[in-house]
Amino acid sequence: MNAGITGVGKYVPENIVTNHDLEKIVDTNDEWIRTRTGIEERRIASDDIDTSDMAYYASEQAIRDAGISPTDIDLILIATVTPDKPFPTVACMLQERLGATKAAAMDISAACAGFMYGVITAKQFIDTGVYKHVLVVGAEKLSKITDWTDRNTCVLFGDGAGAAIIGNVSEERGIKSFELGADGGGGKYLQQEEKFIQMNGREVFKFAVRQMPESSLNVVKQAGLNKEDVDYLIPHQANIRIMEAARNKLDIPVEKMNTSVKKYGNTSSASIAIALAEAVQNGDVKDDDFIVLVGFGGGLTWGAVGLRWGK
């Protein structure tokens, strides 16, 4: 047996905010946003939906997809930088709401790399045989820490949640390699100051175009494979130009990379989880495909996984 992903789910709010909608509130335009970021629209949650609600909807779907019941879950890990409140954690809120009575629960904070940190942490518990089913969720309501008067940041972010169940799959499938990293020295480039996200876009961009390609290639090599063996790439959906850097490094055609950034913007820790659920649900990822998941975020943090899809 090997640790792998046995179920996926996602939730995005119904409310669509287009680039043209943003033109009405800040000095920006659709053309600038599209060409600089690849984003066309994003989902913004209404006041009555918080991070735990989105996490709950995505989790319900993932649990169903894995064919387990909430009481089978041993551990809940929620990656988020926008919890409903500092404590109790979103993970504990979800434990109660799902009726996952046997599960331990905690939140993980690694910004946009959070889902990668969650999946890789879950893998350790599965590999040791201590736990059988770990629910990992990336969930964010970034709209509540977005400064809607700052055009440098408000055009980038969106709300949503994605979930995965990590459990045992057959030996030849599952997580084959991983990489995690952090550089606290770069923390100043992307942070929440007072209420809002503040970002030095150019510095984050420079870091990301170096780290994403490097980590992607590292997990391919660590799995004993070559870049020709990669069937699908799921990068953190921050900016199409950063994602393209990772795709070019792996030399794979554009249709083999998830580009949901255009519909959802940057949903931080939720982005890779949403993209994975969507790719599986659309049939872009099939059994035995080798896929690379890779993310970077505030901290600075990064993480990547090489995974042979299927149970």
Distance of CA 35 to CAs 19, 29, 186, Å? Answer: 12, 10, 26
Per-residue binding string, ligand ACO, 44-83, x by CB under 6 A, is ----------------------------------------
Per-residue binding string, ligand ACO, 192-211, x by CB under 6 A, is -------x-xx-xx--x---
The smaller minimum CB distance to ligand ACO, of residues 151 and 227, is found at: 151
Q: How far is the CB of 55 from ligand ACO (least distance, A)?
A: 18
Q: How far is the CB of 298 from ligand ACO (least distance, A)?
A: 4
Per rule CB under 6 A, count of chain residues that contact ligand ACO = 23
Looking at residues 212 to 241 of the shown chain, list those that interact with ligand ACO (rule: CB under 6 A): 238-239
The smaller minimum CB distance to ligand ACO, of residues 174 and 298, is found at: 298
Whether the CB-CB separation of 141 and 159 falls below 8 Å is answered with: yes
Whether the CB-CB separation of 288 and 309 falls below 8 Å is answered with: yes
Among 124, 152, 259, 281, indicate the residue that binds ligand ACO (CB under 6 A). 152
Among 2, 28, 124, 281, indicate the residue that binds ligand ACO (CB under 6 A). 28
For residue 1, give the amino acid letter.
Answer: M
The smaller minimum CB distance to ligand ACO, of residues 181 and 201, is found at: 201
Which candidate, 42, 10, 43, 187, places its Cα nearest to that of 111? 187
Q: What are phi and psi of 38, to 5 degrees?
A: 85, 0
32 binds ligand ACO (CB under 6 A): yes
Q: How far is the CB of 242 from ligand ACO (least distance, A)?
A: 6
Q: Considering 112, 154, 218, 239, which one is annotated as catalytic?
A: 112
Asked if the bond preceding 13 is cis, omega within 30° of 0, the reply is: no
303 binds ligand ACO (CB under 6 A): no
155 binds ligand ACO (CB under 6 A): yes
Q: How far is the CB of 67 from ligand ACO (least distance, A)?
A: 33
Whether the CB-CB separation of 101 and 71 falls below 8 Å is answered with: yes
Q: What whole-number distance in Å separates Cα of residue 151 and Cα of residue 31? A: 14
Contacts of 260 (CB under 8 A, 6+ apart): 237, 271, 274, 275, 278
- DSSP-assigned letters across all residues of 25-90: TSS--HHHHHHHH---EEE---TT--HHHHHHHHHHHHHHHHT--GGG--EEEEE-SS-SSSSS-H
The smaller minimum CB distance to ligand ACO, of residues 174 and 297, is found at: 297
Q: What whole-number distance in Å separates Cα of residue 216 and Cα of residue 234? A: 10
Quick check: is 154 catalytic? no
Q: Which residues are catalytic?
A: 112, 236, 266
Q: Which residues bind ligand ACO (CB under 6 A)?
A: 28, 32-33, 36-37, 111-112, 151-152, 155, 190, 199, 201-202, 204-205, 208, 238-239, 266, 268, 297-298
